[in-house]
Structure 1
Amino acid sequence: MYPIHKGLHLLALLRYRDGVQMRFKRHFYIVPCLQVKVKRVIPKWRYIASLALPFVVISALLIVAMFATPVLHSPLFLILIAIHAGMCYPDFIHIRNIIGTPKHTFVEDADRGFSVLVSEE
C-alpha cells in the first residue's frame, strides 16, 4: 500500500516532474522506502491536493472493495483503511499547517518540513 500511496503523491505533482527527485532506500536491509524531494516551489492548493489525493483514492477503493466482497472479508478492509489513515496522518498535519497561510502562497520543501513563500500580488 505504501508504494501506491507515494505514487499517488507523485501523480498529483506530475506537472512539476522536472523538479521532483526520487530515491529508493532500504531500512534495516528489508523495508523499502521511497524518498521524494521537490526541488521547486509549488502553489499551495496543488501541494494540498498532492497530500490529500492518496487518502481519497485509496480509501475510496478500499470502501468499494469492502462492499463488493462477502461480509466475512470486510474486517480485513476496515483494518487496511485504518492502517492507511495512520499512514496519511502526517499528510493531514501538513495540510492543517498549510491551510492557514495567505491565498497566493507557494510551498517549498525544506530540510525540516516545508517553507511557505508569499507572493507579492
Structure 2
Amino acid sequence: MSQEPESREEAIARLQRSASDLESRTARDASAEVAGQAAASQAWKIIADLLGGVFVGLAIGFGVDYFAGTSPVGLIGGVLLGFAVSIWMAWRTAQRIMAEAKQYGEPKAVPFDDDEDQGA
C-alpha cells in the first residue's frame, strides 16, 4: 500500500509545526534567566553592603585615630560602627527584595523525586 503524496502546502505546514514544536522544547525560559541574573546581582549587592560598611568604618576609625591620636579606640569603634551599618544596609536590601518577590506570589512546588531513595 502506497500513501498518497502530500501536497507542497501540507508538507510545509507539517514542517513548520515540527519546527515550532522543536523550538518550544529547546528554547530557554528567558524570564527565568533574567530572574536568576537579578537574584545574583542582589546577592552581590548584599555582599558589597557588608564588606563596604566594614571597610568604610575601618577607614573612618583610622582617620579619627590619626587626627585625634586615640590609637586603637577610633579604629575599633569605626569597625564596630561600620559593621553595624553594614548589617542594617544588608537587612534593608533583603527586606526590599522580599517585598519585590511578593508580587510574583508563592513559588511553585517541586514534585518529590522517589528515585533517589531507591538503591541503584
The alignment's TM-score, normalised by the length of structure 1, stands at: 0.34
**Could you say which structure has the larger radius of gyration?**
2
Structure scoring higher RCO (CA < 8 A, sep ≥ 6) equals 1
Q: Going by fraction, where is helix more abundant, 1 or 2? A: 2
Q: Going by fraction, where is strand more abundant, 1 or 2? A: 1
